[in-house]
Each structure stands twice: as C-alpha cells, then as structure tokens.
A and B are shown apart, each in its own frame.
Chain A
Amino acid sequence: MQWETVIGLEVHSQLSTQTKIFSGASTAFGAAPNSQACQVDIALPGVLPVLNKGAVERAIKFGLAIGAKLNRTNIFDRKNYFYPDLPKGYQISQFTLPIVEAGELTVQVGEGGKAVEKTVRITRAHLEEDAGKSLHEDFHGEDGRPLSGIDLNRAGTPLLEIVSEPDMRSAKEAVAYAKALHTLVAWIGICDGNMQEGSFRVDANVSVRPMGQAEYGTRREIKNLNSFKFLEQAINYEARWQIEQIEDGHTIQQATVLFDPDSGETRVMRTKEDAHDYRYFPDPDLLPVKLDEDWIEQVRATLPELPQQKQARYRDDLGLSAYDANTLTSSRAMADYFESVVAGLMQPDAKLAANWIMGDLSATLNREGLDVAASRISARQLAGLLARIQDGTLSGKLAKQVFEAMWAGEGEADAIIEARGLKQVSDSGALSAIIDEVLAANAKSVEEFRSGKEKAFNALVGQVMKASKGRANPAQVNELLKRKLGAG
C-alpha cells in the first residue's frame, strides 16, 4: 500500500526582549541558576504579572509578516498543572483568543530546477511564558544524596508559539517550512534563532494514512526538536514506525514522544490517558490585550522587506534565477550583503555580485565556519573588487587572487592590485610584443591553426597568458591574435 505522511509543526520561538514577558528580570542566557528570577518569577505570595509590550509588538510583527489576522482583542489564559519548574502552578498562555490567527508561509522545497513552492497555513501564533528548568544531573544535597534542582532563570521568558495546519507531507517539506520560519523570525528581528540555546524549538505532529484517504490518521507528537537534522530524522523514523505498526495490524495510540538522537528512535513520554486537564480560564490578573490601529501601523513601519518580497524583486527586477534569489535571501544578513555589493558598483550587475557571493565568498565562509555577517571581506570591499573586473583591470583568475589576498587582510582591491602587480595588461603595444614572441616560438601551433585546427588557437592564447603571467587581458589577446593570424 502507498502511504502518505501528514505533518503539522508547533514552533516555540523565544522573543528577543531584554526582560521577561511578565516581569522586569533579564532574559539573558547562561547566567548562574536563579540569578535572573525575581519575586514575580519565583511566584512569591501576592506578586502579579505585568505584560511586556515588547513581546506583544514582536507578535504583531510576526502576524504582519505572515499576512495573518491580528485579534484586536486577545486574552491571556491560565494553563493549570503542577510541576516544580512551573512556580505559579499555572502557565500564562493564550488559549481561546490568541494574538495571531490564520496566516501562511510559502516555502521552497528542494533545490535548483527541482524546487517546488509549498504554502503552509499557520493556524495561530500565541504569546506565552516559558517554564524554568529542572536540573537532575550532577545535583547533590549536602549529604551527597542526589537531588533535583530548579533553575528559574528561564521562567517567564517570552515565547511565541507558532502552530501550523497539518499541511506538510514529508520530512523535507517540514524542514523547509521550519527553516523558512526560522529565517523569518530572525529576519524580522523578533527571535535570535539560536537553536542550541533553545530559542527555536520544534514539536512535530506526525500521522500516516493510506494515499488518497481523506481522514487523518492518529497523530503522535514528537517534542522539543532543536535541530533541523533531528527534525528530519525524527519525522522519517516516526512515519516509518507508524506504517510498520499499521501494516502489522496494530493501531496507533495518540501519544507524546521524544526523539533520541543517539538511537535515532522515538519513544513514548506520555499517552492520551495521562493527558492533563489544564482547566484553562482567562487570567484575572491581566486585562485583555487591545491592539489599536495606530499601534499596528507603528509596528508595520518597522517591518523590513520580507524574504518573499525580496525574492520576487530579485527575480523580476534584477533578473536573477529563482534559485539565486532564494539563496541570497536565506538570511537578512546575506540579503543585506548582496544589496550592499550591488549598490557599491558604478554599473550595477546583480548577476556578477550573486555569482561571487554564492561562489567564492560562500565557499570561503563555509570553509571557515563563518556567517556572512562575520565575513572578513566587507560588501564594500567586494564591490571594489568587482568594479575592477567590470572595467577590465582584472581577469577572473586575477580577481580570485585579489579575493584571497583581501580575505587575508591585505586591504582594498586597488591596493592589492598595486602591491602585487596584478594589473591586467591591456596596452596593445605591450601585448603585441608578447604575442609576436609567442608566435615566433610556436611555429607549429601557428601552422596547425592555419591548416584549420581551431584548437591550436586556444593553445596560443594559453601561451600568451602564460608569458604575461596571467595579466594579459584575455579579450584583447583574442582579438590581437586573430588579427595577427589573419583570421579576424
């Protein structure tokens, strides 16, 4: 039987506010345990939450970026359950009336000519507070007995939970969507996207059904995937496992599972039977959040041009391929770099800039494990180099040498060209002399060419380039050589 995998994602994106969503404590990562937990965060008797407007603004920004409906009145609810890392005994979240509803994100699945577009509907995005952390390992009491510790630094950190419809049909699609979302939240500046620090965590709801069946199968939720690689592995494993179960005559039980990267398997954390009744109700300590049009417009004004808008512009106005446009918008830093390079050229040539950024620059960045934002060659410097290609000072080959020197910190293109004597020889007198010498020394090739062997011409060009130590202007060499051989 042919099976179809159905996937929906829930992404917890940590919002990049300086302070927590309901208190003034810092959200900075990595501080000593409980050093960033104020009396509100530890839920002393009598304390009350006060909503951080910065978190709301970031949610508005996200809603605008995915063309969603912003609920002009939205409400915070309490999700009640007991756990030591949940100080109040409830999490403040949005349940019935989230701030963002019904948006969508169009993503590119696959690469090059095989790439297809896929639109994933986003059901909702709501604001909530993170819980603290339980420390089970390496934690001991004074008598050496193993104990569990609680670190409440993370308690109250603002999260935007972004819930998709079950629109994805393969791990590849899910990864493409998760990556696009990851790019977007960093792009619009609402999340630092640091997956190691837990700033972007993905839960995947996975089910399978016979191809062509309309109803969904029973889903299992894979919790807390913190890398795209694990997301892909976990979904592939889970889908295979579910198909095997069904084919062996078992039924799938709704469950929450964890992915173990070491074994590459998922295992059950809890089943539907021990699911909580969270007893949601509106938090009486917080007023309904009202979004007025002025506020929304103020936020809209801070929204940068979005990846999709840029891609369209790169294709339609700059004439780049869809693949180039996608690659150059993989991050805002990349797009900014590209646009700065193009803007730095007297004669704008987007294709030339794209080729260099996606070619030599990306290769070098990858080799060094650097992000474009940390590139050792600035966009201005690269533009300086490209300008020398455009005006014929540098051949492609010389340009690569300049690029490497630039990366090594030898300065601007012109300075390197000067210092290394890399300037292309375009003086016809000098070139003519070199060519005459080459023709004299390669009578055999000249003969071959004259007898109709086109290949011999290339060999002569090569000899001229060699004699000029690569500095001869290739176009000029071609032209002069043809003239001298009487072929022009």
Chain B
Amino acid sequence: MTDTIKSLSALLAAGKISSVELCQDTLGRIERLNPTLNAFITVAADKTLAEAAAADARRAAGSVGNPAGPLIGVPIAHKDIFCAEGWLTTCGSKMLSNFVSPYDAHVIEQFKAAGMPTLGKTNMDEFAMGSSNETSFYGPVKNPWDTTRVPGGSSGGSAAAVAARIAPAATGTDTGGSIRQPAALCGITGLKPTYGVVSRYGMIAFASSLDQAGPMARTAEDCALLLNVMAGFDARDSTSLEREKEDYTRDLSRPLAGLKIGLPREFFSEGLSGETARAVEQAIDALKKLGAQAVAVALPNSRLSVAAYYVLAPAEASSNLSRFDGVRYGYRTPEYGDLTEMYEKTRAEGFGPEVKRRIMIGAYVLSHGYYDAYYLQAQKLRRLIAQDFVEAFKQCDVILGPTAPTTAFKLNEKTADPVEMYLSDIYTIAVNLAGLPGLSLPCGFDAQGLPIGLQLIGDYFAEARMLNVAHQYQLASDWHTRAPTL
C-alpha cells in the first residue's frame, strides 16, 4: 500500500480494486503497525467498512445524481480534533475520553460527501498543544523512521500514519505549525491553507484566530485533490471566507520559469542545523534548474513570532477550553463536595500539564492590569509580522525556507524544557499569525536517515501556486517517494 490517493483513485475507477478491499488492506496494516506507532486513538473497522461498501455502491451506481468527486472510495484518517458523528472524539485528552460526538464537523461532512471512508481517528497532542505528540493522554506517537523519536506535533498521528503507509491521506490542523512540522519530521507533504479557506465548524478550538485545517498526504498533488474536498464557504463559521470554489489542481503542471522565490535571511540563521540548511539549499538549486529565480527578502519581525504566539494562542485557548467543566459532557471527577470542587478537580484531573500551563499563561495575559502589556502588545506584533509578509510578497511569488530547525528529536528530549519545545515551531508560527498558507514537503534526509522538510509560504489564497511549485519539485525529486521500513 504505497500508492498515492491519485493512483488509488485510478485503481478504483478502473475497477481493479474496491473500496472495501482497499480499506480491509489498510485496516490490516493499521492492526499490525499501530501497536508500535500509536498513530490512531480510535479504529472502528465495522464503521470504516460500512462506509467503504457505501462508496462502492455509489461508484457502481455511476455519476448520475452523484456529486462525489474522483476520490470516492479512497479512505482517509482524521485527526481526533474533528467531531465525527458516532465516533469517540477525544482531542487527545482525558477530558473528552468519553465523548462520542453527536454531529459531524464541516470537514467530516465534506469527506463523507466525497465518498471517502473514515479510517479512524488519529492521535495528537492534547488539544493540539504540543510539537512532539508527547502531550497526548493516549501516549506519544512514534516516528516511523525511528521509533525512538517523535513524529512532531500536534498532528503527529496523522503524519506518522501517512508516512508509515497505514493511511493514504489524513487531515490535520495547524495553529502554529501543527501540520507542517510533523509533515517535515515524518517526510510527508502537508498544507495549511489561508485562514478561512476551510471551515472550523466542528473542529475543536485551540486558538480560534490561528487554527486552520488542511490535508496531509504523500504528495503535493494529493494535497491539491484533498483541499478541493475540504475547502469551501460554510455559514456556520463566521471566519469562513465566502469565495468562489477553486480547483487547486489547476496550476499543478505549470512550468516554474520566471517563478520568484523569496529567501528570508531570518530563516537561515542561528539555530538551524547544518544538514537542514544544506538540504534546503539543494532544493533551491533544484528549483533554479526548473527556471525559478531566488531573491532575498526580509522578515525582520519574524523573530518575535514565538513570543507573540505564546501570548495570543494561550489567551484564546484559556477561554476556548472553559467549556470543559464537567457539567454537560466529557470527564467529571467522581468525588466532589460542591460546585467549586467539582470544577477544580474535574479540570485538574482532566487536563494534562501542557494544557494547564497554557490555560494559566492565557488567563494571566488576559487578566486585569496585564492585558495591555501582553495581549494588546502581542496583537501589535502580529500586525507587524503580517506587514513584513505583505512587503516580502511585493518581491516574490513564494517564500521558501526550512520547516523546522532540526529533524525528529528523541522522545522525552525536550519535554523538560517547554521553551526549547516551543522553538521547534520557530519557522512556522509567523505564517499562522499572518493567516497565510504554508506547505511542507520532503527535501532530503540527514545522516541518521531522518527526513528534512522544506517550507513554502504563499501569499493569501496562493495555495494553487504553492502546490504547483511543490508538485514540480516532486516531479524532479524522489524524496517524497521514500518510505520507512517497519
């Protein structure tokens, strides 16, 4: 099962395989490999196979009156942050360890409408707070390239599943790099779209102004096909953008001649590993051979992005997570004397340490007397960071750099030092603060055989162009075709 969804779609269309067979095969691999990888929190073969059978029936019925696209029957794994009707939806937390969602997120609805069976719900950092998948209540996910290492986070389960070929594709969400950083660390392709392109309805909120869902797959072409399914206006999300439906595959085969790639010097400075820097430089050379020109750009405020992010994201999170109070659903402490004790014990027992740390930071920066100094100041930085990109895109079509400063680190290596952990998102966070689209794709391996990620950053709504660049690079390289041996 090493196929892209593009090729699986062709096999299904040609009748060479059925969705049920494809899902059975994939579920078999999950059963074999998941105990090692811990990429899935929930697998429900009966549900998946029922959806697969329905997809086969729809395909057999033909396209008459059938709005499903070319991916009908191709299974996909969903990050456990998406509410899916009848599925346990935990968000990686004890707090929701008993929560079976009564409704589908918009993203889930879109994939159901496209006829794509759900393979299961993937593991993730608790409430998407983490860069290593080690904060999950369900235990860490292991990197398929080296199971002593982390897969990145927070969409680590999705990244590991796609890398290990136990899911042809998966959904992820990205608040500060949670699609791109694990994609880089696991050697797959992942796209965070422009804020507002994919509806957040039914996606459990971490930091509402930064959260954005996106596809994680083997190739840029697969990501384009998946984004075609995910994107679109949804009136239930007030920040969803009302735009014409786009075909994100439309520019895939466009030649790169004349493409201007912007290289921000801030992304090639201290903290970047030498091997990563070399791999990125080789990728730049490869793109130049395809006709691209490199120009130097400046993102002077990007160095402040981690600081701004760790004020704004916790502030929003502290409020977003208030609904987990033990009153209406989810975990409730078994023993309590009164209401206050019920709240305190429920939240003390239901949330893990990283989530509590961020709730406390968030409550602090919003509190009376500190709001101006922290929250408002961080909002100002956010505007400055976004303005840097506006200036940079006057000189280039896409910005290019590393996705993460290092390749996959060891399990427990950074858990003792939260700030060290936060710095693994140093190249990805500014993109969320600006609301821009960002993409990570494999561009090499280090001496230990660990994948290295290349990040493309586009202007607002430039997803098709970014996918074009990534696809052309993937036509000229084979990093994305390499699979870990498990």
Q: Given A51-B238, A89-B319, A285-B208, decide whether A44 and B327 contact each other with a Cβ distance below 8 A.
A: no
**Chain A contact surface mostly:** loop
Of A78-86, A166-174, A291-299, the one with at least 4 CB within 8 A of chain B: A78-86
B103 interfacial by beta-carbon distance below 8 Å: yes
Picked from B202, B237, B366, the residue with its CB within 8 Å of the CB of A281 is B366
A49 interfacial by beta-carbon distance below 8 Å: yes
CB of A47 within 8 A of CB of B202, answer yes
**Chain B contact surface mostly:** loop
CB of B238 within 8 A of CB of A48, answer yes
CB of B238 within 8 A of CB of A80, answer no
Interface bits A25-56 vs B (CB < 8 Å: 1, else 0)? 00000000000000100111111111100000
A467 interfacial by beta-carbon distance below 8 Å: no
On chain A, the residues within 8 Å of B207 by CB distance are 284
CB of B367 within 8 A of CB of A279, answer yes
Interface bits A86-111 vs B (CB < 8 Å: 1, else 0)? 01111000000000000000000000
Tell me, in angstroms, the Cα distance from A90 to B329 when the chains sit together.
Answer: 17
CB of A80 within 8 A of CB of B201, answer no
Q: Given A284-B208, A284-B209, decide whether A89 and B323 contact each other with a Cβ distance below 8 A.
A: yes
CB of B238 within 8 A of CB of A49, answer yes
Q: Given A44-B329, A84-B339, decide whether A279 and B236 contact each other with a Cβ distance below 8 A.
A: no
Interface bits B302-338 vs A (CB < 8 Å: 1, else 0)? 0000000000000110110111110111000000000
Q: Given A150-B327, A277-B367, decide whether A46 and B375 contact each other with a Cβ distance below 8 A.
A: no
On chain B, the residues within 8 Å of A277 by CB distance are 367-368
Tell me, in angstroms, the Cα distance from A2 to B339 when the chains sit together.
Answer: 46
Q: Which residue of A lies closest to B81 (CB)?
A: A46
B181 interfacial by beta-carbon distance below 8 Å: no
CB of A89 within 8 A of CB of B238, answer no
On chain A, the residues within 8 Å of B82 by CB distance are 46
B403 interfacial by beta-carbon distance below 8 Å: no
A430 interfacial by beta-carbon distance below 8 Å: no
B277 interfacial by beta-carbon distance below 8 Å: no
Picked from B105, B316, B339, the residue with its CB within 8 Å of the CB of A284 is B316
Q: Which residue of B lies closest to A148 (CB)?
A: B339
Tell me, in angstroms, the Cα distance from A279 to B316 when the chains sit together.
Answer: 11
A54 nearest CB across to chain B (Å): 15
A287 interfacial by beta-carbon distance below 8 Å: yes
B71 interfacial by beta-carbon distance below 8 Å: no
B203 interfacial by beta-carbon distance below 8 Å: yes
B:81-109 near A, CB below 8 Å? 82-83, 89, 91, 96, 99, 101-103, 105
CB of A285 within 8 A of CB of B238, answer yes
CB of A82 within 8 A of CB of B343, answer yes
CB of A47 within 8 A of CB of B319, answer no
On chain A, the residues within 8 Å of B375 by CB distance are 281
CB of B316 within 8 A of CB of A50, answer no
Q: Given A84-B327, A281-B371, A281-B375, decide whether A44 and B103 contact each other with a Cβ distance below 8 A.
A: yes
Tell me, in angstroms, the Cα distance from A281 to B314 when the chains sit together.
Answer: 12
CB of A89 within 8 A of CB of B322, answer yes
Tell me, in angstroms, the Cα distance from A152 to B125 when the chains sit together.
Answer: 32
CB of B236 within 8 A of CB of A50, answer yes
Interface bits B177-216 vs A (CB < 8 Å: 1, else 0)? 0000000000000000000000011111101110000000
A299 nearest CB across to chain B (Å): 21
CB of B96 within 8 A of CB of A45, answer yes
Q: Which residue of B lies closest to A23 (CB)?
A: B236
On chain B, the residues within 8 Å of A89 by CB distance are 319, 321-323, 325
B363 interfacial by beta-carbon distance below 8 Å: yes
On chain B, the residues within 8 Å of A47 by CB distance are 201-202
On chain B, the residues within 8 Å of A39 by CB distance are 102-103
A286 interfacial by beta-carbon distance below 8 Å: yes
Q: Which residue of A lies closest to B342 (CB)?
A: A84
B239 interfacial by beta-carbon distance below 8 Å: yes
B430 nearest CB across to chain A (Å): 18
On chain B, the residues within 8 Å of A280 by CB distance are 366, 371
A120 nearest CB across to chain B (Å): 30
Tell me, in angstroms, the Cα distance from A286 to B240 when the chains sit together.
Answer: 10
B235 interfacial by beta-carbon distance below 8 Å: yes
Picked from A42, A46, A279, the residue with its CB within 8 Å of the CB of B328 is A42
CB of A80 within 8 A of CB of B83, answer no
Picked from A44, A48, A90, A287, the residue with its CB within 8 Å of the CB of B200 is A48
Q: Given A279-B367, A284-B209, A284-B316, decide whether A45 and B323 contact each other with a Cβ distance below 8 A.
A: yes
CB of A43 within 8 A of CB of B103, answer no
On chain A, the residues within 8 Å of B325 by CB distance are 82, 84, 89
CB of A45 within 8 A of CB of B328, answer no
CB of B103 within 8 A of CB of A48, answer no
On chain B, the residues within 8 Å of A50 by CB distance are 235-238
On chain B, the residues within 8 Å of A51 by CB distance are 238
Interface bits A262-292 vs B (CB < 8 Å: 1, else 0)? 0000000000000001011100111100000
Size range of the chain B interface in the assembly: 35 or more
Q: Which of B103, B235, B319, B363 has the most CB of A within 10 A?
A: B319
On chain B, the residues within 8 Å of A80 by CB distance are 318-319, 322, 366
Tell me, in angstroms, the Cα distance from A169 to B270 when the chains sit together.
Answer: 68
CB of B319 within 8 A of CB of A45, answer no
CB of A48 within 8 A of CB of B327, answer no
On chain B, the residues within 8 Å of A90 by CB distance are 319, 322
Tell me, in angstroms, the Cα distance from A280 to B339 when the chains sit together.
Answer: 23
Interface bits B230-243 vs A (CB < 8 Å: 1, else 0)? 00000111110000
Tell me, in angstroms, the Cα distance from A336 to B91 when the chains sit together.
Answer: 58
Tell me, in angstroms, the Cα distance from A84 to B327 when the chains sit together.
Answer: 6
CB of A46 within 8 A of CB of B203, answer yes
CB of A44 within 8 A of CB of B83, answer yes
Interface bits A47-80 vs B (CB < 8 Å: 1, else 0)? 1111100000000000000000000000000101
Tell me, in angstroms, the Cα distance from A426 to B442 when the chains sit together.
Answer: 109
Tell me, in angstroms, the Cα distance from A121 to B430 when the chains sit together.
Answer: 46
Q: Given A51-B238, A82-B343, A284-B209, decide whether A46 and B319 contact each other with a Cβ distance below 8 A.
A: no
Tell me, in angstroms, the Cα distance from A286 to B237 when the chains sit together.
Answer: 9
B217 nearest CB across to chain A (Å): 23
On chain B, the residues within 8 Å of A88 by CB distance are 322-323
CB of A46 within 8 A of CB of B371, answer no
Tell me, in angstroms, the Cα distance from A280 to B322 when the chains sit together.
Answer: 14
Tell me, in angstroms, the Cα distance from A287 to B240 when the chains sit together.
Answer: 10
On chain B, the residues within 8 Å of A42 by CB distance are 328
On chain B, the residues within 8 Å of A286 by CB distance are 238
A61 nearest CB across to chain B (Å): 23
Picked from B204, B343, B368, the residue with its CB within 8 Å of the CB of A46 is B204
B199 nearest CB across to chain A (Å): 9
A:109-139 near B, CB below 8 Å? none
Tell me, in angstroms, the Cα distance from A87 to B207 when the chains sit together.
Answer: 18
Q: Which residue of A lies closest to B200 (CB)?
A: A48
CB of B363 within 8 A of CB of A279, answer yes
CB of B323 within 8 A of CB of A279, answer no
Interface bits B132-166 vs A (CB < 8 Å: 1, else 0)? 00000000000000000000000000000000000
Tell me, in angstroms, the Cα distance from A89 to B347 when the chains sit together.
Answer: 13
On chain B, the residues within 8 Å of A285 by CB distance are 205, 208, 238-239
Q: Which residue of A lies closest to B89 (CB)?
A: A45
A-B contact pairs, 20 of them (CB 8 A): A44-B103, A45-B205, A45-B324, A46-B105, A46-B201, A46-B204, A46-B205, A48-B201, A48-B236, A50-B237, A51-B238, A78-B319, A80-B319, A89-B325, A150-B328, A279-B367, A281-B371, A284-B209, A285-B239, A287-B238
Apart from A46-B105, A48-B200, A287-B238, what are 12 other A-B pairs with CB-CB below 8 Å? A39-B103, A42-B328, A46-B200, A46-B205, A48-B236, A80-B322, A87-B327, A89-B325, A150-B328, A279-B363, A279-B366, A281-B371
Chain B residues within 8 Å of A, Cβ to Cβ:
82-83, 89, 91, 96, 99, 101-103, 105, 200-205, 207-209, 235-239, 315-316, 318-319, 321-325, 327-329, 339, 343, 363, 366-368, 371, 375
Chain A residues within 8 Å of B, Cβ to Cβ:
39, 42-51, 78, 80, 82, 84, 87-90, 150, 277, 279-281, 284-287
Of all A-B residue pairs in the complex, the 6 with the closest CB atoms, nearest first, are A89-B322, A284-B209, A279-B366, A284-B208, A46-B202, A43-B323
